Structure 1
């Protein structure tokens, strides 16, 4: 359900793209250093956005490091790390753990059981360190699982659960910016959930899996409604972002929120037009 919140590379200056990669590599390095290869596998672009946003908001002191990795074994890569990077690594781990746990408890997926066992010891300290976030994530993922079991047709309900998960992750600390960060994370989370359901509809339909878009897809104006919902979510999210006093890496952040989040949507539109024999291309 992740990977929608990334940059639009063609619209980004090269120096900004290199810096974005440095934040991404820094988060990857932090996950590896703190939680090993299994932790590193939880890496997401979405949490990279959180690192850049919170670093900009709180003006966190950031260190530049050079390291090799399995993906780049020859040349050392530039990595940006700070206290926000460590926080994002912890949130990545918590979210991955609870997802795997729900997969095992609710659907008896072997991967969920094995993943939970592999992460259990690593995640105990993190759960103790962040009780607020963990309680919220556990509560909302449980509610989300109930909606999936009952095959809830109103997408706003399960999307709201994931929105509340993301708002808790973006709330690095309770301070003057709590309200804005919560709303930003909430609407971004709803966007991610809706986009994921939209992308997976055909596959879920073939496999008989739950998808809250199923009923909506029967409407003649389905595509228009989906686009309207996605635009509404990102409009609210971006409005909250613009009210934050972020100056550092502002071009990267705006690139993600105004262009990058639409990468997958635009790609889907092109693929569908090709399948339907059209040459036109629609994009946000």
Structure 2
């Protein structure tokens, strides 16, 4: 990402962190992540009242600084990010209980309780979305794109509410297809880990001879790349419709949608992924939290 766009993106990423700290305490800043930052950028560009705000000077203590944007969109997105993290922890605990997950849940307990009380409707919607995903897993669904889109539709409902009167169908489709792209890339990236852990992965449902990730990808390269290209094409189509309504930050979002996401997908297929785009990025120590944008 060129320097001006990188600086603009960093401003939003830092502001997301500051909004989390101001609303939900210092420990909640561990949940800041790339895809929620992207969603905040798009929502603010389409529906926000604060298109320009002061950035945070780089400092080892920048996390202690307060928010610069007086924005309901930023505040609601902070709460939504905490609730997503809550349900990711619930899902992790169901898949594979661990002391680490329990410790993280305990550490974030106060932040989660506050977000639940502030936005119980968002909490319920996200919980039902994870429940729907769990039902599809129990049914042995092997269609990763379908699962990602069904999941995305649920997670998009709070984002539509946050957009308010500025909501429109293509905006919802953008958020849905971003979730689908994330889900597919994570599933490819996690093939070996899920096989070793015995946890669900849609690509493993009909595979009876899995040996290792590299061999699986070699055997299924054509199908995997077609699948990934299809979901990214849907994302880019939606974005082109949304972009006309954005009042700011299009240089940043252009770079992410047309360069960053395809590069992340290529790295996921090739086994070179340095970072997941999902909220588990904040809590999963197996991956480095470095942006591929």
TM bucket by the smaller chain?
0.7 to 0.9
Q: Deviations for 1:54-95, whole angstroms, at most 9, x for unmatched residues?
A: 11112421431545654669xx99985342222221111010
The Cα shift of 1:192 comes to 0.5
In 2, distance between residues paired with 1:80 and 1:261?
28
TM-score, normalising length from structure 1?
Answer: 0.78
Map 1:59-98 to 2 at 5 A.
59-61=48-50, 62-66=52-56, 70=60, 81-83=69-71, 84-98=73-87
Q: Is the 8 A contact 1:25 1:78 kept in 2?
A: no
TM-score scaled by length of structure 2: 0.76
* CA distance in 1 between partners of 2:61 and 2:222 (Å): 40
User: Which residue number in structure 2 is paired with residue 48 of structure 1?
Assistant: 37
Match of 1:195 in 2: 185
Check 1:20–1:197 CA distance in 2 against 1; reply closer, same or farther (3 A cut).
Answer: same
User: CA RMSD, aligned part only?
Assistant: 3.0
Residue 114 in structure 1 maps to residue 112 in structure 2:
no
SS of the counterpart of 1:246? coil
CA deviation map 1:230-256 (0-9, x unaligned): 222222222222223113111111111
Q: Answer whether contact 2:56 2:62 (CA < 8 A) is retained.
A: no
Q: Which moved more, 1:204-213 or 1:214-223?
A: 214-223
The change in CA–CA distance for 1:228 and 1:29 in structure 2 (over 3 A counts) is same
DSSP 3-state at the match of 1:173: helix
Give the number of equivalent residue pairs: 259
> Which of residues 219, 222, 241 is equivalent to 2:220?
222
Number of the residue aligned with 1:282: none
Q: Does 1:233 align with 2:231?
A: yes
What per-residue deviation string (whole Å, max 9, x for no partner) do you get for residues 35-61 of structure 1?
A: 223211111011111121111112421
Give the direction of change, closer, same or farther, for the CA distance of 1:220–1:118 in structure 2 (3 Å limit).
Answer: closer
Partner of 1:144: 133
1:64–1:78 contact (8 Å) kept in structure 2: no
Task: Decide whether aligned partners of structure 1 residues 243 and 71 sit closer, same or farther in structure 2, where only a CA change above 3 A counts.
Answer: same
